[in-house]
Structure 1
Amino acid sequence: MKQSLQGKKVLYIAPRFFGYESEIRDELTKRGAHVDFLLDRPFDTPLLKAITRVSRELVIGAADRFYENQLESLKGQDYDYVFVINGQTLSSVTLARWHQYYPRAKFVLYMWDSFGNRRWAVDNLNYFDVKFTFDREDAKAYGLNFRPLFFSSGFEASSQVAIEWDISFIGTAHTDRYAIASKVAAALGKKSKIYWYLFLQAPWVYWLYKISNRSFREAKLTDFKFSSLTKSDVQSIFNASGCILDIEHPKQTGLTMRTLETLGARKKLVTTNQSVRHYDFFDECNICVVDRWAPKIPSDFLTTPYRDIDVNIYHSYRLEGWVDEIFQVAQR
């Protein structure tokens, strides 16, 4: 049974992420909530996004002013929940102010980045009543609720689509992803049909990485794409792929959204994330865990059929299951 939010008022803050922020808002609304939405990381240019990642302190003053201006029109609201995903540009000043504005609200945090990548987030924990993370190790270290990510309905399997690629990868080419994708391609050989969409925010990011990132030494500008795909495009590529490659950030152990999307699409997965072995949907028939620097994929992995998992486990990883779990805990 879906967790009802009938009549609840929710101030919801999340970053733009392939439209997932809108799907979450829509799911809250479907359950009867009145939702006001504010952007986390409300800067759209590649340069400002990069600055936010590298040195959050340089933009936090501007973010404080942005939220103060946005909330002028929301001061009179009596929220039941302030629901934050990540909160990368939420300072202690802003969070303390919100507690003054909305003293009755329950503050709920969901982290879909690891604290290894977002160390500032640890300082924000005291401002939240209910705290979740997608990273099992962070949950243990900081005493948080552990809840993996989810897949949305658009990724649920479509058996009528012809397979065009043996394996595909779609993702931002941060850290060592380019090098690992190249090693996987080499391990599979030229006979495999491979689709890589390695995204960078702008050509200048490529040139910066060329200087600063050792794994880009052999990279060419033409190896990368500089326009992001829509979620519909990603879903189409998923449906036309027999297997999906997943490369998690080296500083995280939590499962990426890509892993859960692969589960939703009932596709095979090749991943560098060793921790996937500890999840209830893990099946060696469906998931090949490879060494980050020496990936080896069994010759029959891409050709043997996918094996369905238990239907209850499958449904628990849908967006609906994610919202259920978070707000069941929040309503206690």
Structure 2
Amino acid sequence: MKRMDGQRVLLIAPRFFGYERDIRAEIERRGATVDWLADRPYDTPAMTALTRLRPGWVLPAADRLYARQLEELGQVDYDIVLVVNGQTVSARTLARLRSAYPRARFVLYMWDSIANRAHVRKNLSFYDHVSTFDPQDAEQYGMQLRPLFCGRGFDAPAEPVPMQYHISFVGTAHTDRYAVIDRLRGTLPEDIHAYWYLYLQAPWVLQVSRWTRPGMRHARMDDFQFKPLDKPTLHAVFAGSRAILDIEHPRQIGLTMRTFEALGAGKKLITTNAQARNYDFFSDSNVCVIDRHAPVVPAAFLRTPFAPMPEAVRRRYTIEGWLDELLGL
């Protein structure tokens, strides 16, 4: 672990399943002092949608909020300004930050595609270093490709945990996820034990989805959960699973966080993202790429254990490896 003793870091990152806390904790563990501001500070469902669809309407309010928060932080000489996504960090705010902290190194990490955050592209020149999880964006915009990481709590257990499920899935039932799972479970042998936790925000969302998504037209209410799965239960499901199913958004190219959580936990990965074949962790024994339109997992894949990865590969996809690479430590 590379130390950061005495350094001051300004972290601007969205609230996202606690990953912003994991990033902050890792930087602080290395001896640095961290101040955090929220990217996308207005995170009610309505404001989240407005920020995505009409960022120009939200940025002036975010500018005023950041100006006030920076004033409250006082005179700080930051060594690093680390921005994750920068969805509501405008050119005006970045210019203010550059002027206030001329000595700081500005780093941007995109864990969303530029296609979904088009206005961020105009701000790339403000940063000294830019990385992305998306291989297509890396090539098109000259960014460094840096995949995501395994969050805290997903490390392989010190003692073996009895297997309860051959395959499990926990996630939001967006886009075609229900349809993929519905097709897949119809192909599994009877002796394969599966755990499915498809989350929707409310029953009315299912009613709307039945009309708007052909693959959910005949979905049953009891196929879904309307409360997010708590982290201790999620970790227990992971620990008791042999393989984790990952279904990325149909328009997404970069690998999901779930990919690295599965591998970090010492679990096999079943994924609809064919890009997984291009990464150094790929092996036929641990990773099964399926067709989202006709998903089939060989029974032998589910009946054989995870093959340990080389330690250097495993560490690269931890939050420690992510931070080392991102900050050039």
Structure 2 residue aligned with 1:142 = 141
SS at match of 1:12: strand
- Give the whole-Å Cα distance in 2 for the aligned partners of 1:203 and 1:65: 37
Pairwise CA distance, 1:201? 3.2
Pairwise CA distance, 1:220? 3.5
**Do the aligned residues in 1 keep the contact of 2:189 with 2:299 (CA within 8 Å)?**
no
Q: Does 1:113 align with 2:112?
A: yes
Contiguous gaps of at least 5 residues in structure 2: none
| Cα gap change, 1:323 to 1:205, in 2 (>3 Å) | same
Pairwise CA distance, 1:191? 4.2
Pairwise CA distance, 1:208? 4.0
SS at match of 1:109: strand
Structure 2 residue aligned with 1:326 = 326
Q: Does 1:96 align with 2:95?
A: yes
Letter paired with 1:99: R
**Do the aligned residues in 1 keep the contact of 2:85 with 2:112 (CA within 8 Å)?**
yes
SS at match of 2:117: coil
Contiguous gaps of at least 5 residues in structure 1: none
Pairwise CA distance, 1:36? 0.2
Structure 1 residue aligned with 2:198 = 198
- Give the whole-Å Cα distance in 2 for the aligned partners of 1:169 and 1:260: 14
**Do the aligned residues in 1 keep the contact of 2:288 with 2:297 (CA within 8 Å)?**
yes
- Range moving further from structure 2, 176-185 or 52-61: 52-61
SS at match of 2:195: strand
Q: Aligned ranges for residues 1-332 of structure 1 at < 5 Å? A: 2-158=1-157, 159-328=159-328
- Range moving further from structure 2, 217-226 or 231-240: 217-226
- Aligned-residue identity in percent: 50
Pairwise CA distance, 1:101? 2.2
- Give the whole-Å Cα distance in 1 for the aligned partners of 2:211 and 2:95: 41
Letter paired with 2:99: Q
Letter paired with 2:263: L
- Give the whole-Å Cα distance in 1 for the aligned partners of 2:298 and 2:153: 30
| Cα gap change, 1:311 to 1:180, in 2 (>3 Å) | same
| Cα gap change, 1:191 to 1:43, in 2 (>3 Å) | farther
Report the TM-score, using the length of structure 1 for normalisation.
0.92
Q: How many residues are treated as equivalent by the alignment?
A: 328
RMSD: 1.9
Pairwise CA distance, 1:202? 3.6
Report the TM-score, using the length of structure 2 for normalisation.
0.93
| Cα gap change, 1:211 to 1:234, in 2 (>3 Å) | same
